[in-house]
Amino acid sequence: MTHEPSPHAGALSPDTLVVAAGRPARVHDAPVNPPIVLSSTYVGTGTVVDGDRAYGRYSNPTWDPLEETLAELEGATLPGLVFASGLAAVSAALSLIPAGGVLVMPRHTYQGALVMAQELAEKGLFTLRTVDVADTDEVIAALTGAGERAASMLWLESPTNPMLEVADLRVLCRSAQAVGAVVVTDNTFSTPLVQQPLELGSDVVLHSVTKYLAGHSDVVLGAIVTSDPDLRGRLHHHRSIHGAIAGPFEAWLALRGLRTLALRVERSQQTALALALRLEAHDGVDRVRFPGLESDPGHARARAQMNGFGSILCIEVAGGAAAAEGVVAALRLWTPATSLGGVESLIERRRRHANEPDSVPENLLRLSVGIENAEDLWADLAQALDSVVSR
């Protein structure tokens, strides 16, 4: 199946691109949606050259429209790369660090990425320096090495998972590249509609497609986007040799889910802000973490580099871990589950995971706001807080 670029792609708004990009060529009787191609190998003779599909571990026509669409959304000049999971994409990105190199990573970031980096560092593959990514001076000091080896890679996530700290992406990208470090930005929380890391200076953008991009809690998939041909070639090689490839059905489902991304993000962002404002005034909540609040330490930075504030917020429940667990148990509409970015609203006490950093408060609940009616979501939260927490 031949695909064509989105018409007037450079002039289209992102909320149009999610619908228009990655469509089959407009020829008579062509399908409107790209089909699923189920094949493990492809017909070919002679020497295999770049661009040949050759074998199912290298390429699949069902990946193409999703990879093209993600690239257009992130403003990349090269097609993206889809992976079997977000962690498979993390593994590929970390493979860019040279042996004996230095990785600078936020102390609060996606748990799987942090654990993987710690395990690789313990094996001696590279040195890991964790930082408070909201402290720009601390990050720059870690990048330069303060007399030791400079960083090989800066890993960014902003807002961070789950503490929602906001990094100064422009300054940190420039500082990293000044010492020759590759910058990888996990843009899962924000999505390309809310934040454009490549435009802000990042070399590589990473997504857990499982979350907002697919959007329906029924796909496990990852993706990487870059405009650097050398980096893309190395990442593609890693995917091909290590085998963490996407299934065609998962890729098709992800593109299907992506078509409604703009509507889902618009709705969930509006609701997240409304909930954050109400939670900030509730006696049962010690603290609300959400960059959309003017009281949040990252608010000014978020306004400067984001188109909105995302749909994730965190609360610290008065009364400690037991009270936080009690609130979760008392909810009837919010679903107690890990993950985020689906149409349904999810809630979780993050410290229930053994690998969550000790610096994450025991009473912190992470809320992934979905697309349900805002008043219904608030009523459920309010009754749960009222029934468990008393001042």
123 is catalytic: no
In the set 186, 203, 296, 380, the catalytic residue is: 186
Which structure tokens are listed for 63? Answer: 């990946």
> Of these residues, 23, 110, 232, 239, which one is catalytic?
110
314: alpha, beta or left, given left = phi > 0 and alpha = psi -120 to 50? beta
Pairing relationship of beta strands 222-226 and 81-83 according to DSSP bridges: antiparallel
Looking at the DSSP bridge assignments, the partners of residue 186 are: 157, 206
> Helices 86-94 and 111-122: crossing angle, nearest 10°?
40
The whole-angstrom separation of Cα 350 and Cα 321 is 10
Rg (CA), the chain: 21
Q: How far is CA 198 from CA 74, 169, 183, 205, 256, in A?
A: 7, 10, 10, 7, 24
Q: Among 42, 55, 57, 386, which one carries the catalytic annotation?
A: 57
Task: Examine the residue annotation and report whether 296 is marked as an active-site residue of this protein.
Answer: no
Q: What's at 40, amino acid-wise?
A: S
Q: Of these residues, 211, 239, 349, 366, which one is catalytic?
A: 211
Q: Is 212 a catalytic residue?
A: no
Decide if 286 is catalytic. Answer: no
Secondary structure (3-state) at 266: helix
Burial class of residue 89 (count of CB atoms within 10 Å of its CB; 0-12, 13-18, 19+): buried
Burial of residue 107, with CB atoms counted within 10 A of its CB: 0-12 exposed, 13-18 middle, 19 or more buried? middle
Q: How far apart are CA 236 and CA 81, in angstroms?
A: 7
Calculate ∠ Cα 189-218-30, nearest 5°: 100
Looking up tokens 């190395």 gives 234
Give catalytic residue positions: 57, 110, 186, 211
